Amino acid sequence: MSNNSTPLLEMKGVEKHFGGVRAIDRFDLRIMPRDIYGLIGPNGAGKTTIFNTITGIYQADEGQILFEGKDITKIKPHEAAALGIARTFQNIRLFENLSVKMNVIIACNMHNRYSVAEAILRLPRYRKVTKAIEERAIGFLESVGLADKADDIAGSLPYGHQRKLEIARAMATDPKLLLLDEPAAGMNEEESLELVDFLKKLHHDNPITILMIEHHMDVVSRLCEQCTVLDFGRTLAQGTVEEVKQNESVVAAYLGGEL
């Protein structure tokens, strides 16, 4: 399926309106398997809205979204997850009162099949699956360096760890496409650099494609080969990070005097 001629994700002329506001306007996107793709733009440019239409939280008003060539425009959020689209959220959404481990276990459960009767009677398959899932969850926690915090309450973790836990949870659904909504938000330069290394390793170790929204240009230029710049729902520029940085309208709209 993932040969290099079919994009993993393709958006064609996608529009989303809220009342009179065009949150996204005729948006096109092609992401090839194994890409790390950046989505940048000022606040309110419609980046998160794009994530929400991909994951089925919003339904696009116009246009088409294809995932591995399959139309997913009208998909529901849990179906998107089942197809292999995982995401994190701009303002972290953990299961706060549950343990760190349980946050990941719940995501692992997506591929976990035993019936209600097996659960209530605790039949062998239930025990076997439960044990396997728990080990798997610990594995994901180890990969983000949170294994020693497995029994802590998720909401009690420091901010940076919460971000990592959210990524671990997303990875636990075994995704093909990982959507990261401002993973470096609220991080200082040192923490951002650490995040870049972490994401590089994550991408290297797993057969995933990453689409990320990010404000920190240094993070984007270190990670992404390609990116799209948005402003007021419209696409200003698309191309490699270097090309985009040269683009005049981009400089005017977003990067301003920084370059």
Partner 1 sequence: MINSFYEGVIVTCCVNIIAVLGMSVLTGFTRLFSFGNAGFMAIGAYTAAICSVQFHLPFALSIICGAVAAGIVAYLLGSLTIRLRGDYFLISCLGFGECVRVLFLYLRDITGGATGYTGIPFRTTWVVALVCAIAAFIIAWNLIHSRYGQAFSAIRENEVAAAANGIDVVKYKKMSFVFSAIFAGWAGGLYAHYLRHITPVLFNLPKSCELVITTVLGGLGSLTGSVLATLVVQLLPEFFRKFSEYRMLAYGIAVVLVILLRPAGLMGYKEFPDLFKKSGKKKSTGGA
Distance (Å) of CA 180 to CA 2, 102, 126, 246, 258: 21, 21, 33, 25, 24
Q: Of the candidates 47, 40, 42, which has an alpha carbon nearest to the alpha carbon of residue 245?
A: 40
Q: Identify the DSSP state of 110.
A: G
> Which of 89, 191, 198, 215 touches partner 1 (CB under 8 A)?
89
> Which of 49, 53, 55, 235 touches partner 1 (CB under 8 A)?
55
- Is 76 a binding residue for partner 1 by CB under 8 A? The answer is yes
Burial class (CB in 10 A: 0-12, 13-18, 19+), 52: buried
Position of tokens 């996608």?
14
Interacting positions 102-141 with partner 1 (CB under 8 A): 102, 105-107, 109-110, 112, 114, 116, 119-122, 126, 130
Smallest separation, CB 258 to partner 1 (Å): 33
> Which of 173, 209, 226, 228 touches partner 1 (CB under 8 A)?
173
- Is 49 a binding residue for partner 1 by CB under 8 A? The answer is no
Determine the Cα–Cα distance for residues 238 and 57; give it in Å rounded to an integer.
25
Determine the Cα–Cα distance for residues 171 and 189; give it in Å rounded to an integer.
25
Amino acid 212 reads M
- Is 206 a binding residue for partner 1 by CB under 8 A? The answer is no
- Is 239 a binding residue for partner 1 by CB under 8 A? The answer is no
- Is 77 a binding residue for partner 1 by CB under 8 A? The answer is yes
Q: Which residues bind partner 1 (CB under 8 A)?
A: 55, 57, 76-78, 80-82, 86-87, 89, 93-99, 102, 105-107, 109-110, 112, 114, 116, 119-122, 126, 130, 151-153, 156, 169-170, 172-173
